[in-house]
Amino acid sequence: MAHRPKRNFRQRAADSSDSDGAEESPAEPGTSREFAAPGPAEEGPPSGEGRAQVAGRPHRVRGPRGRGRVWATSRRATEAAPRADEGSGVQESRTVDVSTDEEDEIHHSLESKDDQGLSSDSSSSLGEKELSSAVEIPDAAFIQAARRKRELARVQDDYISLDVEHASTISGMKRDSEDDPESEPDDHEKRIPFTLKPQTLRQRMVEESKNRYEETSEESQEDEKQDIWVQQQMRKAVKIIEERDVDLSHSCGSSKVKKFDTSISFLPVNLEIIKKQLNTRLTLLQETHRSHLREYEKYVQNVKSSKSTIQNLESSSDQALNCKFYKSMKIYVENLIDCLNEKIINIQEIESSMHALLLKQAMTFMKRRQDELKHESTYLQQLSHKDETSTNGNFTVDEKTQWILEEIESRRTKRKQARVLSGNYNHQEGTSSDDELSSAEMIDFQKSQGDILQDQKKVFEDVHDDFCNIQNILLKFQQWREKFPDSYYEAFISLCIPKLLNPLIRVQLIDWNPLKLDSTGLKEMPWFKSVEEFMDSSVEDSTKESSSDKKILSTIINKTVVPRLTDFVEFLWDPLSTSQTTSLITHCKVILEEHSTCENEVSKSKQDLLKSIVSRMKRAVEDDIFIPLYPKSAVENKTSPHSKFQERQFWSGLKLFRNILLWNGLLTDDTLQELGLGKLLNRYLIIALLNATPGPDVVKKCNRVAACLPENWFENSAMKTSIPQLENFIQFLLQSAHKLSRSEFRDEVEEIILILVKIKALNQAESFIGEHHLDHLKSLIKED
């Protein structure tokens, strides 16, 4: 670290002995001794040159890198303060503004202080206190410079001059010479000391404090600390000026009027600006007040809620029992879930086995029917071709076709005998389902089904009834609902129960076949009754939350029963079987009409199920309906194989037509009319009727077709024309009536008119009656 070189005190004293004594300044109040080192807040800037406004006089502050200026009105005084430049030791001059009055006060106080003796510490302290009560100068550099000047004067003359005017003159001349760089003496004019004068204890202490100050100022080079120091000195200067003015006014006994600096400009202020600021402040205060009120209300509500909770907890004496119940319920539900997760794989395997067995049986019936239809049609076609081209009566049939035809005839004979025994004499050939199995096949099927049902019974044989009996499980949740309804509904148990009961219900549905007339209905099943009882027990509670329990049954049906029913429709149902169709419709009505409280979920399941039904019936119309057309010569003989085969196929198509229209009420009218009338009646049945000879048999078939049509399609009394899809059927009826009116079967015309009236073809019936002058039949139209 660079130190400033020692100064030539003799030469300094010779040049400005008088002025130095006049420009001395006492120590700042608060220091115990006049040679005390300056405190941290009073240390000079680490680098650069600074000025501060002191005693109301212009005092320019210039920090490091030459920052701004502050000006005030006063006269100017200068003071030479040697300062070492870092690393060079060059002395610089520092200007400080001091008033003449303050110089006189400082000079007289220093003279009185010298008269009392410099060695007395007590008198020195007293003088410092008296002087500090008059003037307080915060600039540390100014104080240090005054101290050095005083020491130099004492070293040279061992006294302080009392000639104020002379000292002032010398001091002014010295300042002028310092301001003018050309007035500096040359180096050869300066006196060069070769020996050092012994220093006193006070001088050594001053030198040490000066060295410490210089070392400290050189180490502090940070801009941030410099800025902080400048700001502190500025605040001190303003504060000290105000205090000094007050003290001086009291000490002099005369009040001095402080001049106002008119050069300072302020923003214009009027009433509107003040009013606007006050309104803005008032708005902010009001918003703050409102936010505090909201917080206060919130805290008050929290306090009330906490007090209520505390009272409830203190008043309840059965908290231990409640906790025990919740723990037991938690353990029970966890064990139930673990049990069902372990058994669900076994349940799925049993379901798959039963489904595969029923699917195998259904595919057997379907394949056999299609194969028999194919072989019989081929045989009759070959027989017709032989009659047309061959003259000899020999006709050979392959063994497989012959065996199939014999088997078909054998089953028909058995069914006919069974109908005779049961007293059914109105049966038409071709309307039977032909779903008989051979004895061997029946035994094998029953054995496989029995094994699956045995596995079904073994699923929960090692499980306690509390975990496999639906009634016991629901009883647990019913106790929860009765004891703690709030927690029961908050836990959404109504949504959990269908999922918990799903595996148990699926086990009971393994033996359920909705395609059999003798199958157990859903309402008779144990699980159905248990769920209904659980729902009925919640009727007493009429709260909004209790309504969720009323949807449990519908949710179970949608999530568990409807998907299983959809599988039966897609893979196992035979639309040509009237018994299967009737049983399926019965179960669908129970599911889709009586238990559809949860409309959104039911509509989704209902749509999927109905789409499967429509798709299966379309496939049946395309794959299973075949009505061949033979020459009239071949079908005129009712005992011929061609006539019998055509009759059987017509009645089979009419059976499917009736089964399709049985879905009236579950399927839309447009869907049924498209399937039954558009695809089946107009495409197959009408063609077969047109190929037949008009007579009682044709009228009978038309009556059967009209009987299959739903009555609600023709309930509108204002209808004069039938639905568009029946136009072909109406034209066939009119054509048959024209032919019969000219034949021996004139009585059959009345039956045709009744059919037209039934299907609301009133305009066509009136036209026909008027055309053929059948006035006795007009009463049929009026009665309708």
User: What pLDDT, on the 0 to 100 scale, is given for residue 546?
Assistant: 61
Q: What is the mean pLDDT of residues 725-754?
A: 87
User: Three-state DSSP class for 151?
Assistant: helix
Longest Cα–Cα distance of the chain, Å, equals: 176
Which of 58-72, 138-152, 568-582 has the weakest average pLDDT? 58-72
Shortest CA distance to 659 belongs to which of 624, 607, 695, 630?
A: 624
Q: Is it the case that residue 250 has pLDDT exceeding 60?
A: no
Which of 262-266, 535-539, 636-640 has the weakest average pLDDT? 262-266
C-alpha–C-alpha distance, residues 486 and 544, integer Å? 12
Q: Is it the case that residue 709 has pLDDT exceeding 50?
A: yes
Shortest CA distance to 493 belongs to which of 534, 464, 532?
A: 534
User: What pLDDT, on the 0 to 100 scale, is given for residue 438?
Assistant: 78
* pLDDT single digits (tens) 416-456: 777 777 766 666 676 676 667 778 888 999 999 999 999 99
Identify any residues that bridge with 287 across adjacent strands, giving them in sequence order.
Answer: none
User: What pLDDT, on the 0 to 100 scale, is given for residue 327?
Assistant: 92
Which of 431-440, 626-635, 758-767 has the weakest average pLDDT? 431-440
Phi, psi of 79 (to 5 degrees): -140, 130
- Sign of the CA dihedral 350, 354, 360, 363? negative
pLDDT tier for residue 207 given thresholds of 50, 70 and 90: confident
Give the angle 182-183-186 at the CA atoms, nearest 5°.
Answer: 90
- How is residue 646 written in tokens? 């055509």
Shortest CA distance to 575 belongs to which of 532, 608, 615?
A: 615
> How many CA atoms lie within 13 Å of 667's alpha carbon, on the beta-carbon side?
25
Task: Pick 143 or 52 by higher pLDDT.
Answer: 143
Task: Pick 297 or 628 by higher pLDDT.
Answer: 297
Q: Cβ of 173: how many Cβ atoms within 10 Å?
A: 15
Contact residues for 568 (Cβ-Cβ < 8 A; gap 6+): 513, 514, 515, 584
Contact residues for 521 (Cβ-Cβ < 8 A; gap 6+): 586, 587, 590
Helix (H) or strand (E) holding 354: helix 319-389
Q: Is 7 left (phi over 0), alpha (psi -120 to 50) or beta?
A: beta
- Sign of the CA dihedral 771, 775, 777, 781? positive
Q: Cβ of 384: how many Cβ atoms within 10 Å?
A: 16
Mean residue pLDDT of the chain comes to 74
Q: Is 61 within 8 Å of 72 (Cβ atoms)? A: no
Shortest CA distance to 566 belongs to which of 536, 603, 531, 607?
A: 607
C-alpha–C-alpha distance, residues 618 and 434, integer Å? 21
Q: What is the mean pLDDT of residues 636-646?
A: 83
Contact residues for 532 (Cβ-Cβ < 8 A; gap 6+): 553
Shortest CA distance to 161 belongs to which of 282, 22, 287, 49?
A: 22
Phi, psi of 283 (to 5 degrees): -60, -45
User: What pLDDT, on the 0 to 100 scale, is given for residue 417?
Assistant: 72
SS3 content of the chain, % helix, strand, coil (to 5): 70, 0, 30
Task: Pick 720 or 338 by higher pLDDT.
Answer: 338
Q: Is 405 within 8 Å of 629 (Cβ atoms)? A: no
Q: Is 10 within 8 Å of 199 (Cβ atoms)? A: no
* pLDDT single digits (tens) 509-534: 999 999 998 888 888 999 999 999 99
Shortest CA distance to 595 belongs to which of 521, 669, 662?
A: 521
C-alpha–C-alpha distance, residues 647 and 196, integer Å? 154
Q: What single-letter amino acid sits at 630?
A: Y
C-alpha–C-alpha distance, residues 679 and 673, integer Å? 9
Q: What is the mean pLDDT of residues 151-179?
A: 52
What's the start-to-end Cα distance of the chain, in Å?
131
User: What pLDDT, on the 0 to 100 scale, is given for residue 63?
Assistant: 41
The torsion angle over the Cα atoms of residues 690, 696, 701 and 703, rounded to 10 degrees, is 120
C-alpha–C-alpha distance, residues 618 and 660, integer Å? 10
Q: What is the mean pLDDT of residues 715-737?
A: 85
- Sign of the CA dihedral 756, 761, 765, 771? negative
Shortest CA distance to 251 belongs to which of 132, 127, 116?
A: 132
Q: Cβ of 491: how many Cβ atoms within 10 Å?
A: 14
Q: Is 677 within 8 Å of 730 (Cβ atoms)? A: no
* pLDDT single digits (tens) 269-281: 788 888 999 999 9
C-alpha–C-alpha distance, residues 551 and 223, integer Å? 79
Domain regions of the chain by residue span: 343-386+399-418+435-623
- How is residue 191 written in tokens? 């006196």
pLDDT tier for residue 332 given thresholds of 50, 70 and 90: very high
User: Three-state DSSP class for 220?
Assistant: coil
pLDDT tier for residue 718 given thresholds of 50, 70 and 90: confident
CA 25, chain centre distance (Å): 78
Shortest CA distance to 634 belongs to which of 381, 284, 367?
A: 381
Q: Is it the case that residue 708 has pLDDT exceeding 90?
A: yes
Rg (CA), the chain: 62
C-alpha–C-alpha distance, residues 599 and 601, integer Å? 6
pLDDT tier for residue 319 given thresholds of 50, 70 and 90: confident
Q: What is the mean pLDDT of residues 649-669?
A: 92
Shortest CA distance to 493 belongs to which of 542, 547, 549?
A: 549
* pLDDT single digits (tens) 545-578: 567 888 899 889 988 999 999 999 999 999 999 9
Q: Cβ of 379: how many Cβ atoms within 10 Å?
A: 19
Task: Pick 701 or 127 by higher pLDDT.
Answer: 701
3-state secondary structure labels for all residues of 156-183? HHCCCCCCHHHHHHHHHHHHHHHHCHHH
pTM higher than 0.85: no
User: What pLDDT, on the 0 to 100 scale, is given for residue 14?
Assistant: 39
* Residue entry with tokens 């004895």: 439
Q: Is 112 within 8 Å of 106 (Cβ atoms)? A: no
Q: Is 760 within 8 Å of 721 (Cβ atoms)? A: yes
